[in-house]
Amino acid sequence: MTDNTLLERLARLGLPLMEAGGEVDVNQTLADVVKSRDTRLWEGFPVLLVNAARDYRFEYDRVLTSLVTDGEKEDFRALLLLSLALYDNLRLSFYWTKQLKAQLSDRDTAQLKQLTRSLSHDAPFTLAGREFQAGRLKGMFELYFEKGAEKGRQRKDTYDELALEYALSQLFSPKQKELFRKKLDGLPLTKTEKEYYSRAVKKKVAALANAELHRQARMLMEL
């Protein structure tokens, strides 16, 4: 049975099976979900992963070091492939998913294609000894990103948010994007952060704000 402490951490990370608040060690939580072998929690792994990575807290190696047996590490590999396949099916892409895909073996790449195909056809499939339903996986992802709003509008809002995240990842490094967000939200920067922002981020922001550059970029997109 899944313990309450894990459920509380999952709530903080975006899978509110119980209400909770506060900070959480996302890498340890992801490892604990892998170890749980609980199908219900495994179905929510793609949600947990995208939330952890969005905050720049997901570290592949740290999760891996929390897994002891070869079986646990194999389950982690399978859940990563499941998550990547779901994101592909929903046409979502991030800098960190590109990094993960670049490290896949031929075997992993073949399995990723097979999982993506199963999701595309809404077909059930078996992974790491567990049976998954494509509809449930997609539904859970939508539930926690669209809950509480009109479905069609919220799906677009969610996609736009993630698309913006992807666009920022093409222009800024993770650190630069973090400073961009902090500056936009009016959060204080340290002296070092201010210097780095002025040196590396501000010029890019100024270029993005150039109306003529924006107009020409839109023209190119329409060609």
Instruction: Specify whether the CB–CB gap between 76 and 63 falls below 8 A.
Output: yes
Output the pLDDT for position 1: 39
Q: How many CB atoms lie within 10 A of CB 205?
A: 15
Residue 138 has pLDDT above 70, yes or no: yes
Lowest mean pLDDT among 10-14, 40-44, 206-210: 10-14
Q: What is the pLDDT of residues 183-200, one digit of tens each?
A: 888 888 899 999 998 998
Q: How many CB atoms lie within 10 A of CB 111?
A: 18
Residue 156 has pLDDT above 80, yes or no: no
Q: Which residues contact 20 (CB under 8 A, 6 or more apart)?
A: 7, 8, 9, 11, 12
- Name the residue type at position 50: V
Confidence tier at 204 by pLDDT (50, 70, 90): confident
Confidence tier at 139 by pLDDT (50, 70, 90): confident
- What average pLDDT is seen over the chain? 82
Residue 148 has pLDDT above 60, yes or no: no
Instruction: Specify whether the CB–CB gap between 67 and 76 falls below 8 A.
Output: yes
> For the purposes of burial, counting CB atoms within 10 Å of the CB of 38, is it exposed (0-12), middle (13-18) or buried (19 or more)?
middle
Output the pLDDT for position 147: 55
Winning range, highest mean pLDDT, from 119-123, 159-163, 184-188: 119-123
Residue 52 has pLDDT above 90, yes or no: no
| Residue ranges of domains in the chain | 4-146, 173-223
> For the purposes of burial, counting CB atoms within 10 Å of the CB of 83, is it exposed (0-12), middle (13-18) or buried (19 or more)?
buried
Give residue 209's Cα distance to chain centre: 28
Residue 137 CA to residue 144 CA, distance in Å, equals 11
What's the token pair of residue 28?
Answer: 């340890």
Q: How many CB atoms lie within 10 A of CB 149?
A: 12
Percent of the chain with pLDDT over 70: 79
What's the token pair of residue 76?
Answer: 């982690």
Residue 18 CA to residue 85 CA, distance in Å, equals 27
Residue 98 has pLDDT above 80, yes or no: yes
